[in-house]
Amino acid sequence: MSTQAVKLLLPRWLITMTPDSPVLEQHALAIEGDRIAAVLPREEALRRYATAERVELPHHVLIPGLINAHTHSAMSLLRGVADDLALMDWLNNHIWPLERQWVSEDWTYQGSLLSAAEAIRGGVTYLNDMYFFPTAMARAAVDSGIRAGVSINVIDFPTGYAANAQDYIAKGLAAYEQFKGESLLDWTSAPHAPYTVSDETFVQLRELAEKYDLQMHCHIHETQDEIDGSLKQYGERPLARLNKLGLLNAKMIAVHMVHLDPDEIDLIARQGVHLVHNPSSNLKLASGVAPVKALEAAGVNTILGTDGAASNNRQDMFSEIRAAALLAKGVTGDPLTVTARTALEMATVRAAKAMGRASDLGTLEAGKLADVVAVALDSIECQPVYHADAQLVYVAGREHVTDVWVGGRQLLKNRHVLSIDTNGLLGRVQDIVAKMRAGR
């Protein structure tokens, strides 16, 4: 094997996130092309790859790229537009009216690019998105170099994007066909929520997921109001309804899932449903706290997302990792409910499994795609370091991310985004916001 194309990352610590793996010290990660060639002791790497390019990271910990399992990227343009509100007030009286007025292909592209830049600076290498104009999200991901789960998003009422369910599906499939085969993109069949999607549309989207081998992506059991509304309209809770429609299986990425009874937890565990915990968004919208201890005990694949910037308002996976660990301890009185290691798994290896990408993402090991993040732990607020993995969860933040690679391509170097003209982007964002302010 030629070493000319090999790049050696030489960190102080390396966390592979493979099962039961220790924190490695004085190891190296070799990248060849878009893949990890090897993880091996530093001195052995220097001998084996004697002529490789070396990237010295003497105060850093290397981790797999973080996976944000649920966000609405374009809604970065609505960050802070309506705060301190309950979910349905926030949606009905603020967000949906603004979207009807402003959302377009370019609006969605610029907002998605802004979120991609935020993600890259925060150590996130994969965004599982749900929004209108999927071609815009796809272009933003490809242009920025980040990975994305792009949604064939459907809601049973008209918006500025589509007129009805059939229109959403047709436009989503056209976008899928346009970008099919693009290595940075996955696609999801994405019904918005049980309170906005009919049984007929749910079945169509289930069949679409089966036909094209896509994961599904849906808000479920986010609030008690949602459950009460379902009981009134359908005579059953949303999960029971979706189960009858054949949607609860290992393709389903169920977002929020705050309000669950024991039978529902048992059901989703048996059916292999993946659950996206969004601690910050659920707290901010006063939706509640997911029952993570019971989910962990049942073996549910619980992962993490930020939700969109209009509801969180930070698309900051370090915040979500820390919040998941701390909330679980505080709510249950059990410090072991979500350990530092478990919280990191939720944002890496478990999330890769949920996206159907366990074979090539989520851990740092030979053969997998080189999605790698370097976090510096030499600053005053990060010292001293006794346990590098716990330090990432309880101390470090996204501001300590220095370098990011996706598929071996460096997207962030010394905190500078290489793949996006951020000054030009911020100028375009300011222009959009000025028009929105003038038109409100």
Structure confidence by residue, pLDDT tens digits, 388-419:
999 999 999 999 999 999 999 999 999 999 99
Residues 212, 162, single domain; the answer is yes
Average pLDDT estimate for 37-47: 98
Would 321 be classed as within a structural domain?
yes
Residues 70, 192, single domain; the answer is yes
CA 20 to chain centre: 24
Residues 155, 283, single domain; the answer is yes
Average pLDDT estimate for 289-318: 97
Residues 168, 245, single domain; the answer is yes
Residues 219, 350, single domain; the answer is yes
CATH number of the domain that 109 lies in? 3.20.20.140
Would 70 be classed as within a structural domain?
yes
Rounded CA separation 416/353 (Å): 30
Would 439 be classed as within a structural domain?
no
Average pLDDT estimate for 362-382: 98
Would 438 be classed as within a structural domain?
no
Residue percentage of the chain with pLDDT more than 70: 99
* Domain tally, the chain: 2
Average pLDDT estimate for 136-151: 98
Residues 349, 369, single domain; the answer is no
Residues 91, 55, single domain; the answer is no
Residues 203, 145, single domain; the answer is yes
Would 323 be classed as within a structural domain?
yes
Q: In this predicted structure, what is the pLDDT of residue 87?
A: 86
Residues 162, 59, single domain; the answer is no
The answer, yes or no, to whether residue 303 has pLDDT greater than 70, is yes
Would 435 be classed as within a structural domain?
no
Would 413 be classed as within a structural domain?
no
Residue percentage of the chain with pLDDT more than 90: 97
Q: What domain range includes position 27?
A: 6-64+365-407
Would 266 be classed as within a structural domain?
yes
Structure confidence by residue, pLDDT tens digits, 101-114:
999 999 999 999 99
Residues 22, 94, single domain; the answer is no
The answer, yes or no, to whether residue 3 has pLDDT greater than 50, is no
